[in-house]
């Protein structure tokens, strides 16, 4: 079986790469399971100071795998995604996300869960759920604490695309940088993190994410169930099938 997510160790940094180009790094069962496994491995490595999450290809993440979703069984899919979001937030190592390509729907939940997010200025974001008869329940666990209330209402309800500069102003990402400067900005951030002592990084992250983790633990099961219920609805199934047929 072809691996969809890769883990590489580079000195004090664990690099996790999403590499499922055939479906634009959609959150398939396989991708989510491999991401969870690699996150656990990276977080358990004593020499690792930081985890870098990035993508191969042109897209960071296109959201849910609609082919799987249209076939049913999203109850486990929603729980799996919530589990990964919690892993990122609860990891002892800081998680840095590097965005060089578009992020859609469920992929924004990963962005929201990360500690530091650097994006190229050309990157676009879009919460497309409302256009498929859905609501971003699972990823709202990590997004609503990041967004301002007005930005959340605007982007969640309209489903419109928005750019990296706006994403920074909304609180979704840490910083937008010129495309040519992205790698340098990421390496500088990782270098600074690697200067921290493990206990300092661990305890500071625990302090920062205390409320986010409490939110996930309190609402995670409920929001995953609500997400799965919407995916199974007639309206959403019709919308997803129409979307998949347009892609053919």
Pick the CATH number of 5-180 from 3.90.226.10, 3.30.420.10, 3.40.50.720, 3.90.1820.10: 3.90.226.10
Residue pair 115/145 in contact by the 8 Å Cβ criterion? no
pLDDT over 90 at 190, yes or no: yes
Residue pair 48/196 in contact by the 8 Å Cβ criterion? no
pLDDT band of 31, cuts 50, 70, 90: very high
Q: Look at residues 123, 83, 120 and name the one whose alpha carbon lies nearest to residue 103.
A: 123
pLDDT over 90 at 116, yes or no: yes
pLDDT band of 246, cuts 50, 70, 90: confident
Which residues are 98's β-sheet partners?
118
pLDDT band of 73, cuts 50, 70, 90: low
Residue pair 11/5 in contact by the 8 Å Cβ criterion? no
pLDDT band of 113, cuts 50, 70, 90: very high
Q: Look at residues 128, 129, 127, 125 and name the one whose alpha carbon lies nearest to residue 165.
A: 125
Separation of alpha carbons 29 and 32, rounded Å: 5
Separation of alpha carbons 237 and 192, rounded Å: 46
- Percentage above 90 pLDDT, the chain: 90
User: Mean pLDDT across the stretch 138-148?
Assistant: 98
User: Mean pLDDT across the stretch 146-160?
Assistant: 98
Range from 15-24, 116-125, 237-246 carrying the lowest mean pLDDT:
237-246
Task: Return the H-helix or E-strand segment holding 30.
Answer: helix 29-44
pLDDT band of 248, cuts 50, 70, 90: low
**Could you report the per-residue pLDDT of 42-69, keeping only the tens digit for each?**
999 999 999 999 999 899 999 999 888 8
Global model pTM greater than 0.85? yes
**Could you report the per-residue pLDDT of 201-218, keeping only the tens digit for each?**
999 999 999 999 999 999
Tokens of 107: 């992929």
- Percentage above 70 pLDDT, the chain: 99
- Residue 99: strand, helix, or coil: strand
Phi, psi of 122 (to 5 degrees): -80, -10
User: Mean pLDDT across the stretch 129-149?
Assistant: 97
Separation of alpha carbons 122 and 137, rounded Å: 27
């Amino acid at each position: 079986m072809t691996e969809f997510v890769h883990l590489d160790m580079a000195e004090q940094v664990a690099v996790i790469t999403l590499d499922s180009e055939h479906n634009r790094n959609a959150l398939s069962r396989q991708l989510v399971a491999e991401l969870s496994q690699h996150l656990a491995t990276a977080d358990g490595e004593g020499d690792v100071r930081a985890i870098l999450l990035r993508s191969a290809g042109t897209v960071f993440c296109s959201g849910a795998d609609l082919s799987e979703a249209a076939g049913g069984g999203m109850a486990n899919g929603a729980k799996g995604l919530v589990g990964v979001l919690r892993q990122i937030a609860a990891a002892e190592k800081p998680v840095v996300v590097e965005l060089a390509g578009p992020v859609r729907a469920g992929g924004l939940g990963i962005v929201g869960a990360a500690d530091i997010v650097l994006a190229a200025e050309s990157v676009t974001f879009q919460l497309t759920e409302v256009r498929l008869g859905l609501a971003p329940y699972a990823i709202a666990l990590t997004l609503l604490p990041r967004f301002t209330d007005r930005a959340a209402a605007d982007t969640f309800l309209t489903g419109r695309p928005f750019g990296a500069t706006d994403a920074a102003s909304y609180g979704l990402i840490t910083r937008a940088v010129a495309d040519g400067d992205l790698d340098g900005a990421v390496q500088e951030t990782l270098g600074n993190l690697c200067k921290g002592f493990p206990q300092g990084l661990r305890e500071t992250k625990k302090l920062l994410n205390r409320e986010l983790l409490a939110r996930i633990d309190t609402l995670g099961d409920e929001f995953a169930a609500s997400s799965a219920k919407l995916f199974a609805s007639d309206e959403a199934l019709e919308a997803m099938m129409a979307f998949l047929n347009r892609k053919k």
